[in-house]
Structure 1
Amino acid sequence: MNTPLHPEELAAAEVCFASVGALLYAEPSVETVAEAVASRQFAEAPYAADNAWACRGLEQLDQWGAEAAEAAGAQTAGDAGTPEALDPAATAALLAASPAFVERVDALRREWLRLFVGLGTPEASCLESFYVEPNSHMFGQNTLAVRAAYKRHGLQVERLHAEPDDHLGLMLGFVAHLIAAERAALEAGDADRAAALADEQRVFLADHILPWLAVWHYAVAKHGRTAYFRGVGDFTFGLAACYAERFNIRFDEEARVFKQRR
């Protein structure tokens, strides 16, 4: 059974899935990280605010941002004693011009490559195939199934056949796409289509993300060296766990797996 969500809740979940998908998929850049830190993007999230893992993830991300800003001699909106009207764009420019901040983002870039890409075997691969295919074979049946799901919605990875379709960042972005479509159907008064899209999300999460997410999360926690990427790992896990509950799927802490409740 799927629990219906209001359009506002769906919009909040959509933003979170799209944002964390981008954090995992794209190599960190000075500009994007500076914008996130300057605006205090990680101070709070519109969805999963009551999930312990998600909250812990946000705390770590915001902590990393505060320390990076302090090292660069910058203040961000919302800091104690800082005017709320502080211009985030000006702060982002100041951060991007700071050698100390650039050095910290360079360290993030190296960590992103080590964790998720790897010169050999990544320490926390974001590919579903790495965890579920025999010998971690890429472009296998699971990848093709994910590709088919994208195709049904008119989507295709930019470098088809050159990059795996089953990257966690891409798949979280796809869930965001489905959530947006469900919200649009609800707002158009098409309850049947909204229900079908919700069920498609349930199947996609249960088939392609949740079975290996706990193992990935553990790997990020074990090998992550910065609060930034440990925070990304925690928030990703908490967000998915929180959203899965609308489909009566809950993470079993003892068994360390997601289970469908009857």
Structure 2
Amino acid sequence: MLDAATLDSLAAAFAALGRLHREAPDETALRGFRDLIEDWPLAALEPEGKDSAAGPSNAGPSNAGPSNAGPSNAGPSNAGPSNAGLPSAGLPNSGSSSAGPSNPGPSNPAPAGAAAVGEAGTADASTRTRWHGGTDAGRAATGAGMEQIRESARAGETPEEIRRDHDLLYGDTAAARVAPYESVHRGVDGLVFGEATLEVRAAYQALSLQAPKLNQEPDDHIGLEFDFMAQLTLQVIDALYGDDAARAEKLMTHGTDFLRDHLLAWAPQMLDLATQHAQTHFMKGVVLLSIGALDSYAELLDLPFERP
């Protein structure tokens, strides 16, 4: 049975990580993300092998029922990019010419950067119940990622340093150390706009979504694929609160197919490379948190998650 509280936690994590893979945070978003890392919605395994003490200890749906957290009261429309400091970088509705959402609602991009952790989904960080799913390896990656974000703050890493690392890592303005596009990793020729790109585009279009710079930048950027899973998950929650179980199941089938056929088919290897090439604690943290998030969603859907 689908649980809205669990889905809310996953939507929040995937929304935040999608934004941070797409664009480095500015000072406001960086400070907010660091402040909110202790409220990370997915469980972490500390080095000594115990669950992280940070955040709520239970993961039941009691705090996220329709009576206090339905999409009509606290969906993405109340947590737009204006609270985040990061430009919108996700998937607008099909037909929108801008990178940001044209209309509020679960089908539009969840908020960016810090706001995504605290506000994406249907509950805020203070009331969201941390989901204790995922394998030990995945929760260990989450714990290591959280510690890297803490270390980034302790080391005083600046937005400029993180932006430079993001640029060098993903090739924002230069050659990428680790290409962030699925087609590069899975295509025979290792080029962008390959077969995988078109398949991903079709998956977006099935939910009336599209890449922000259609035909200019590849649709299969890891940040956009993470953002797509966040938006799909929010639509599932919307369907659950609307008592539309059939739509919720149909959406989850679409999400399962996308996760299995796309993200899990290339992102673990790409993220493993990124952990080796990232030079700042912050970007290492983002990558490790992403590994943990993929592991958590894969376990929920009973899909294999294989790290290199």
TM-score calculated relative to the size of structure 1: 0.77
Residue 97 of structure 1 corresponds to none
Q: Distance in 2 between matches of 1:224 and 1:236?
A: 14
Residue 257 of structure 2 corresponds to 203
Residue 228 of structure 1 corresponds to 282
Match of 1:46 among 41, 47, 54: 41
Please list every run of at least 4 consecutive aligned residues from structure 1 whose deviation after the TM superposition is greater than 4 angstroms.
none
Which ranges of structure 1 fall in alignment gaps of 5 or more residues? 69-100, 257-262
Q: Is 1:55 paired with 2:109?
A: no
Instruction: Tell me if structure 1 keeps the 8 A contact 2:10–2:41.
Output: yes
Q: Distance in 2 between matches of 1:144 and 1:252?
A: 25
Residue 85 of structure 1 corresponds to none
Deviation at 1:250, TM superposition (A): 3.0
Q: Distance in 1 between matches of 2:241 and 2:234?
A: 11
Q: Distance in 1 between matches of 2:147 and 2:229?
A: 24
The one-letter code of the counterpart of 2:200 is: V
Distance 1:164 1:252, change over 3 A: closer
Which ranges of structure 2 fall in alignment gaps of 5 or more residues? 45-131, 133-138
**1:37-116 equivalences in 2 (<5 Å):** 37=34, 40-49=35-44, 50=132, 51-68=139-156, 104-116=158-170
Q: Is 1:151 paired with 2:205?
A: yes
Residue 183 of structure 1 corresponds to 237
Q: Distance in 1 between matches of 2:33 and 2:240?
A: 31
The answer to which structure has the higher helix fraction is 1
Deviation at 1:20, TM superposition (A): 0.5
The one-letter code of the counterpart of 1:204 is: F
- C-alpha RMSD of the superposition: 1.7
The one-letter code of the counterpart of 1:174 is: F
Instruction: Tell me if structure 1 keeps the 8 A contact 2:18–2:224.
Output: yes
Q: Distance in 1 between matches of 2:250 and 2:151?
A: 40
- Residue identity over aligned pairs, in percent, reads 29
The one-letter code of the counterpart of 1:218 is: D
Q: Distance in 2 between matches of 1:246 and 1:163?
A: 31
The one-letter code of the counterpart of 2:153 is: G
TM-score calculated relative to the size of structure 2: 0.66
Deviation at 1:189, TM superposition (A): 1.1
Q: Distance in 1 between matches of 2:37 and 2:154?
A: 10
The aligned length equals 215
Which region of structure 1 is more displaced relative to structure 2, 232-241 or 116-125? Answer: 116-125
**1:28-43 equivalences in 2 (<5 Å):** 28-37=25-34, 40-43=35-38
Q: Distance in 2 between matches of 1:156 and 1:207?
A: 18
Deviation at 1:65, TM superposition (A): 2.0
Where 1:62 maps in the other structure, the secondary structure is helix
Deviation at 1:63, TM superposition (A): 2.1
Which region of structure 1 is more displaced relative to structure 2, 5-14 or 170-179? Answer: 5-14
Residue 87 of structure 1 corresponds to none
Deviation at 1:120, TM superposition (A): 5.0
Instruction: Tell me if structure 1 keeps the 8 A contact 2:145–2:288.
Output: yes
Where 2:304 maps in the other structure, the secondary structure is strand
Residue 57 of structure 2 corresponds to none
